Structure 1
């Protein structure tokens, strides 16, 4: 993997597949920009929009490689970009779940909404830095005609760290939803139990979309761990259909899921997020603390037929 006379893919990337993913990520990215502007959820711009831009760059590299499979530059562009690009998308999911926790009741979560978002965003940033550093080391080594495996190992470490963070995130999110539905707060003294709770349709759709998007990224991360652990000349990295389905396909599913189950359309526009509310004068204000933020929406409890509201 040291010169322009070696096929670093061990196959020739299929041109039409590369173009297909370029079109899909372009469509999703444009939709995300329009949705972010309409709903005024500005955090979506440096997260899901940035992720789509990264995927567009990565798949452009694969299209380039389909025309010149022996060139180093497009190979390095695609492998670094497609490894790093989903990280901002995952960050958006962390922010969205923090808002869901804030609205449904932080007493059911082991962390406050702000702490939850802060902790997992920090993990995401660390993973991004490690993966980017690994990509830089691999690219530099390959340019100098050296073995890029050390850079690959660094990228692998970043993805493993990210995979662990996703796993913890999914476990805590599942526990939160179950505690909410069963009305079993983490801190029972804060509230009296009054029976099971229900979710409205919009919140159910938001949780479904959030779960599907996160699951797709999780599957993709497992694939990437196996791919890099198998080595630059391994069977996994040398099989195009694995990459197309388990990387491109999963991230396409994840980003379009956020398009369809959009947080701004299901949870409200930006002036209703992050503890904000609109007072009688139309002024936005903010409430809550790091330890225990105020809940924006407190859904009604379902106490059975005939219960007074």
Structure 2
């Protein structure tokens, strides 16, 4: 796991620098670094099982690590919504990113607080460790609800786009879609779906097996092969999926993202100018 996370994190650093999509550093790269810390702690524990520091490293880092990676999915989908047409989305692409990244940040804070309490307790204070585990579990369940809501809204957006059924909003007339999905966007949507499956399995295992509520004595956390497959392997697969289906390759580099933003802003500015001129004429 240390080798695999090391490879995918190094690839994400290179790909983020190449595409100049700097938001990948506090998302995908940060997730990889935290997984590296967590699994290095597990490797250390395998050599020295009674050491406290590696125990603290693994219980905190491996739980929190998927959270920044999930934020990368939110950012990518927000860009796809802008690319295909915000008229097919129940909420705007801007609010989509703000809303779900905020939920992700809240989940991260809750998990960090629980992790800090569990880590401060150490292996000798079982009650405090269990309490910290419950707090972390609350953050995970909140995050699970957020990513399920995210998937539901994303599916609705794709179905509306496919059937060309935009929302009718009073502020702007809904434009018709232009052509079909290009190959790069199709592949990116497929990658988002696959990453969502891996992350969903990972978070579902955290919550439904009551791994944390059992005070670090749950079946998965005590059985190494289960923990390796259902915990580490799911995030490894998600991170390598983003390597192979990288947004810089499929959706373009940073300057192309900026060009899209500029092209979307121009019609809005024109409409704002028309509205302001009409208001001025009516006042005159």
Give the shorter-chain TM-score range: 0.7 to 0.9
Query: How does 1:110-125 map onto structure 2 within 5 Å?
Result: 110-125=90-105
1:51 alignment partner in structure 2: 31
Residue of structure 2 in register with 1:249 after alignment: 233
2:106 to 107, 126, 151: 126
Output the CA distance in 2 between the equivalents of 1:228 and 1:209. 30
- Answer yes or no: is the 8 Å Cα contact 1:106–1:293 preserved in 2: no
Match of 1:91 in 2: 71
1:141 matched to 2:117: no
The 2-side partners of 1:271 and 1:242 are apart by: 43
* Unaligned ranges ≥5, structure 1: 1-20, 279-283, 295-309
The reply on whether 1:216 has 2:198 as its aligned counterpart is yes
Output the CA distance in 2 between the equivalents of 1:144 and 1:114. Answer: 46
Compute the RMSD of aligned alpha carbons. 2.3
Residue in 2 that maps onto 1:78: 58
Q: Please, which of 250, 257, 265 is the counterpart of residue 288 of structure 1?
A: 265
**Equivalence for 1:27:** 7
1:71, distance to aligned residue in structure 2 (A): 2.1
- Contact 1:287–1:293 (Cα < 8 Å) also in 2: no
CA contact (8 A) 2:31 2:67 kept: yes
> What residue is the counterpart of 1:300 in the other structure?
none
Question: Does residue 179 of the first structure (1) align with residue 160 of the second (2)?
Answer: yes
Partner of 1:10: none
SS at structure 2 position matched to 1:236: helix
**1:72 offset after TM fit, Å?**
2.3
1:232 to partner: Cα distance: 2.0
Deviating beyond 4 angstroms after TM superposition, the runs of 4 or more aligned structure 1 residues are 284-287
CA distance in 2, matches of 1:181, 1:187: 16
Tell me the TM-score normalised to structure 2 length: 0.87
Per-residue CA deviation, residues 164-198 of structure 1 (Å, 9 max, x unaligned), is 0000001111111111001011227733668x962
Structure with a larger share of its residues in helix: 2
The number of aligned residues is 264
Equivalent pair of 2:110/2:138 in contact (CA under 8 Å): yes
Q: What TM-score, normalized to structure 1?
A: 0.80
